[in-house]
Structures are given as structure tokens and as C-alpha cells.
A and B are shown apart, each in its own frame.
Chain A
Amino acid sequence: MISTFFINPFSQEAKKIVKANGDLNKIIEENERLLNIIEYTTGQILDDDSKIPGSLWELSIKRIEWYLEKKNRQRYQPGYYRFLFNPKIAKFDVITFHILAQAIGAKFNPNSRESRIFIESEGEIVKERILRIEHQIRDDIISKILRELLNCEKPHWIQLEKLLENRRIKLTELILNDGKVILDKSAPKRIQQIINPIRENIIPALIMQETQEYLHKVHEMAAKIEPHPILVELADKIQEKISQEFFIPKKTGPGTIKASKLDFDAFPPCIKNTMKGVKAGNRNDAIVLLLTSFLSYARLYPAVFKERKPHKVSDFDPTLNITLNEILPIIYEAADNCEPPLFQDDPQEKLNITAKLGFGLHETPKLENEGESKWYTPMSCEKIKIHLPILCKPDNLCEKIQNPLTYYNRKRWQKKKEKGDKDIPGSNTKR
């Protein structure tokens, strides 16, 4: 029988386990019982000792590593992580969840990349564990967990407000009646069929939400009480893992340009024209919509159109140093070059610039506000021609591309190729 705390690390039972066994001084000790469970986990690949966590400390890191590997897919070998889905590991797992939350919450901002990855990883683990529960007992387990998380199986939808706010669920995906979300088995048979997936989907969302709130609490506490050194060390290790994942040299296709200092010579004509300053009428759109998105992506994530992966600014600039010290000053300078200077009569446009970078309507980007809005990708040449025709003075290269960012990548690529740069994959230069 699966214990509910294998899915729900916030249950009363889970908390009791953590209280009784969560001695931080012991988490780096090798744990034979843990090793034994892993060894006898069906389907577990055991050919590489470095892949087997021998202590709670290592298990904590493996939890995050699993998620990063799974996300990356290219390297992911599920056979090395089967133990994460063995219910016998439940007690160890629940302790590692809390250790991780304490470490990450203490060291990082709740909206940081590290916090986000931890929350997402927890959601994914829960989803996968639910999927693996045997069909016969799944309903009972899910009912128990729902009662633990919501105190009932027919909550008022407002109880799920935070999940709606964070877009973890959609209201239109729920079955509502008189304000109640139908998650129990009282519904007619046909309805039951569609309620099952709702019941299963809402649990990871609720656990992610609780995890997020937990990180907030830990973070607040950490400001008052110094965290245990072992937690700080673990947080550093997690940060290192995550940074490796994001800045690992990936196999890139021709034309892929990595994040690096801005090369002003490679800017397309429309951007160069914007930087010189724009007259009222086109000024706001040129600075806020075109330049802000172009500069931020060109500096931090020039491969956005090639990889098509949604990212946040902090994925590439975790401390926001580059954003605050390199990107924004250029945007503000261009805004000052406008006629009349943009912020002189439109000071609120500063907020809009922050919003277009994904940090909501605030004076300057701050990690705690990240995610309040979307990080806008640069507008296409077609849109520029319609909305900002005055800036569009195409050159030869413009004819071959459809977005100013592609122009930038192509131009940089050409420049590097001309220099015989060895970093260009697939180029004719000798390695």
C-alpha cells in the first residue's frame, strides 16, 4: 500500500516523519536502508555508483537532477532514477523534500530560478507518482490526498484561487456547481469519467502551490534566523547543478548564437535607427516594444526562435546584473535620445519596459516580481513595417530574414565566420 505522504509531503504524517528523522547533522551519512531499497527497485540501472544516492544529501540532489535531465530529454535515462518512484523510498523522500525546501527557501528568493525549478520538479514527481499508482487503489489514495490538501472533496472554487492566479489550473477545466468544485464520486457515471483526470491533475497543482508558499515562509524565516550551514552548502550545490544545466555547451545547429555581450555592429537598421532616437508618435512602441525585447533577447537568449523554449530573464541572468547594468541603461539612453525624451512626458513607460521583460508593472525589474508578465519576444519585420515603418530601412541582409533578432544572429554568425571562429559548429574552420 502506498502511503499518501509519498505524494503529499505536507500531510500530517509526513510532518511527523520529518520531525522524528530530519536531523540535519545526519543527512550526509551513508544510509544502508536507502541503498538497499534502491538496489531492489525494479528496473533500476545499477551500473554506475555515481548515479546511486547513498545519503539523504545525495538523494536531495538526485531529485533535482532527475527533473533537469528529464527536461533536457537528450541525456535522460529513466532507468537511473527508478528509485524515485519506488514507494518504499517514501520516508527518505519526504525528508529530502523538506531539506531541499529549507535549503532553497533559505538561500534563494521565492521567485528565483532555483525556487521555480524546485517547485516544478516537485509537481513533475507527484504527477509521475500518481500515474504509477495501481488502478485498483488509485481512487482511494487520491481521495485521501484531496481530503488532506483541501479538507474536503467538494471545495469552494475560491479555495483554489491561488492555483488560478498562478495558472496552475484553469477554471474552465473544473466542474462547478453552486460554487463547489466537484471532485468526489457523487456525480453521475459519465461525469465521474471526466472528474478522474481533474482529480489527478489538481493534486500536483496543489502541491506545487503549497511548495511555493512553504518556500516563502522559509525565506522569511531565514531573514531572521541563520540557516544551518549544511543547508547553505546544499543550496550551493543545487545552484551549481542548475547553472550547469543552463550554461552547459549544448550541441547547436548552424546559425545558433549564444548569449554574450551585445555586438552593436550586428544590429539591424531598425534597431540602429531606434537607438538614435525616435520622434513622438513612434517613440513609445519603438522603445518599449521593439528595443526592449530585442536587446534583452539579443543579450540573454538570442536562440529563442531556434529553440522555441519559453524562458524567463533570470534563467540566463539569475542575479539580474546584466539586465540592470547592461540592458536597461541602453534602453534608457535610447529613450533619452527620443524627441521629446520618452520618460519626460511618459514616465510610466519605465513600468511598461519592466513589464515587457516579464517583471510586471514596476519601476525596475526585481526577482520577486518575475512572472507577473510575459517576457516579450521581438516583433517581426512584418509588424515593424506596419507599426513602425519609419524605422524600417532594409539592407541586403534584411531581405533574407523575418525578425530583427534573426538578422542579429545571422550578422554575428557571418562576422565570426569571416574571422574563422572555432566556436562555430558546422563551419568550415578547422578545429
Chain B
Amino acid sequence: MFQEATPKDRKKYYTREWRIEKIPDFIRENIHLREFGFDHTGQGPNDRYKFFPNEKLLTKFIRYRAPYAAYSSVALYDRPWKREGWISSELVFDVDAKDIPVRPCKCDNVCEKCLDQAKEIVAMIIDTLEDDLGLEEIHIIYSGRGYHIRVLDPIILKSDSEVRSQILKYVIGGDVPRLSYTDFDGNIRNLDHFMVPLGYPKVFTERSRYIILHLNGDERIEDITRQTMNKILEYRNLIRADRWGEFKGIIGPMVYKRLIKGVAKLNLQLVDARVTVDLKRILRLPSSLHSKVSMICTHVDDLESFDPLRDAVPDFVKEKS
């Protein structure tokens, strides 16, 4: 498992197993408006600005070239061969299992555990996209080493990078919530994020809980000493039990302030932010082969029951084992 595919493996996959119908409808219906990119050697996608007016030509190209990796743009263009005439872009979140900032599994590349972790993060992000932002038409793609969340809700497709970056910060808890209010005497008071059980403070609390409960102690959190880290690990069960106030009391309010600031920065690493804010990104083509790990980039119909080690393994790998 997770071995690099040989040119022979790739040929086998694209001629015997791959079919154009495996590309999700949301891409197939506008192939002629997307830019395609290919990596033929494993050095990165340097064959870009590819344009296919129809499925037939794309099929022919992919079957014939059996690329190391295939990509298509998240954007639609009037002239995709020039990347000109931008029409719209999907909103994308890239959760890569190997880049999760807190990985208790400590593996070098990816393993079952961190793929599960990536899945958990994806589920959290989707809940927020639906429940808080009210977004619909959300697709999940297993990318080979993690997941892509692709949002096709029409209300978001024309949004610019700034709006996307704000959505990103919201869904992953990238800002420490600023919660102040004026009391009856006119004094400004502050509330802690864990005291507000809805909206962004709730999202931030959930993401922070996730990070703190998954720390293995080796991570560096800005402005947090080794000693404090040990204390955090010692008392984090209080957070598991939702006793944030007590936890804050034990580690001290000033340290707590520094901790959540550092955690917000770790939250930002839950996804690859560059992918979300880039309107002209190319992403792995669902149905294509991630040759580095020999897994199929797969559209996920049901996240809960999806198991990449069962549902995204190509036949040539199964045959080998």
C-alpha cells in the first residue's frame, strides 16, 4: 500500500479500469470550460493550459498518455486554453493528511490513522459550511493523501479571494474570536469563546478542542513553553469534558490567551490555505490516479462509510497483494 505506481501500472489503470463516467458530473458537464493540467514524469504538473472540447478527446488523451497525475481547474473560463475569461470558481478546501499540524500517529507520509484524522477534519468543516454558512452542493473528493472539499453552491462561485479567505478562517477557526459587550454601567467587558455556544465562537472552540486533544507534546505552539505544554497535556481532559473555565484557571488567564492565539495559528494549518484563496487553481481530477501513493482520486458519496483503503485502491494494487 502507498507504493509509487510504475508507468506499466498507470497504463493498466487507465486502459482497463478508468472510465470517463467516473469523473463526477459537475466536471463532465463543463469540460470545455476548464483548464486541464498533467504531470507526465512525477516532477509536477508542467503540461498545463490543456483544453478539451469534449469527453471523447479527454478520454483519448488520458488513455493514450496514462499520466502520472491529471488535474482540472476549479475555475471555468471562456478561453481555458489561455486561462482567460474567468467565469467562476468552486470554493475549495484541501485537507492533506500528511500536513495536519497535530498528528499523534507520527508517521512519515500517510497512514490509516492520519487519513482518518483528515476525514474527521473534513466532517467538521462540512458541518460548519452547511450549518453556519448555509452552503449547499458540497462535494467531497478523496485526493489520494487526503480530501478536497469542493463547494459548488452558486452563491459562492463568483466570490473573490478575500471573501474565500474569510470563509476559510471561519470554518477552520483561524481567528481568535473578539467577544466584547457593554454592560449596564457602560463598561466594555470581554467574553471567552467557550462561553458562546453558537456561531463562530462555537466553531473556534471545536477546532481548538480538536487541536489540543490531538497534541502529542512535540508540536511547537508560539509563545508556549515546554513546561506549559506539559501542563496543557496534563489537564486537557478538562477540555474533553467541556470544562474550559477550569482549564483556563489552572493554566492561568495570560497563558491561556497565548495558548489560544497559538492554537488559532495551528488551526490555520488544518487546510492548505493557498488552495482556497487561489481562484485559478488546478486540482487532481477525480477518477485519476495519484501515482505517488497508487490510490484513486475518488468522489466520495458518503463520507461516513467511505474507506480509502477499500474504495480508492486500484485493481493493479489489489492484484499485487
Residues of A that sit less than 8 Å from B by CB: 135, 156-158, 161, 164-167, 170-180, 182, 190-191, 193-194, 196-197
Chain A residue numbers with a CB within 8 Å of B304 are none
What residues of B have a CB within 8 angstroms of the CB of A178 in the complex? 131-132, 134
Q: Most chain-A CB neighbours within 10 Å: which of B155, B170, B195, B199?
A: B199
* Contact A177–B196 (Cβ < 8 Å): no
For the complex of A and B, list the 3 residue pairs with the smallest distance between their C-beta atoms, beginning with the closest: A179-B134, A175-B199, A193-B181
Q: Chain A contacts of B155 at CB under 8 A? A: 156, 158
**A164-B163 contact in complex given A175-B199, A179-B135, C-beta closer than 8 Å:** yes
Knowing A165-B163, A193-B181, A197-B181, the reply to whether A176 touches B191 (Cβ < 8 A) is no
B23 close to A (CB within 8 Å):
no
**Known A165-B163, A193-B191: A172·B132 in contact at CB below 8 Å:** no
Residues B278-312 near A (CB distance < 8 A): none
Contact with A along B184-208 (1 / 0, CB 8 A): 0010000100011011100010000
Would B198 and A175 count as touching, CB distance under 8 A? yes
A166-B162, A176-B134, A176-B200 known; 19 new pairs, CB 8 Å cut-off, are A156-B134, A156-B155, A157-B133, A157-B134, A158-B155, A161-B163, A165-B162, A170-B166, A171-B170, A172-B166, A172-B169, A173-B177, A176-B199, A177-B132, A177-B199, A190-B195, A191-B196, A194-B181, A194-B196
Query: A179–B196 Cα gap in the complex (Å)?
Result: 18
Contact residues in A for B160 (Cβ distance below 8 Å) = 165
Contact for B166 among A164, A194, A196, CB less than 8 A: A164
- Can you list 16 A-B contacts with CB-CB less than 8 angstroms, sorted by A residue number? A135-B186, A156-B155, A157-B134, A170-B169, A171-B170, A172-B169, A173-B178, A176-B133, A176-B199, A177-B198, A179-B133, A180-B134, A182-B199, A190-B195, A193-B181, A194-B180
B107 on interface, CB distance cutoff 8 Å: no
Chain A contacts of B178 at CB under 8 A? 173
- The 8 A CB mask of B149-170 against A (1 = contact, 0 = none) is 0000001100110110011011
Evaluate contact between B180 and A197: CB separation under 8 angstroms.
yes
Docked pose: A166 CA to B163 CA in angstroms: 9
Asked if A191 and B198 sit within 8 Å, CB to CB, the answer is yes
Does B182 reach chain A (CB closer than 8 Å)?
yes
A164 and B162 within 8 A (CB): yes
A169: min CB distance to chain B, Å: 9
How many Å lie between the Cα of A170 and that of B168 in the bound state?
A: 12
B162 touches A170 (CB 8 A): no
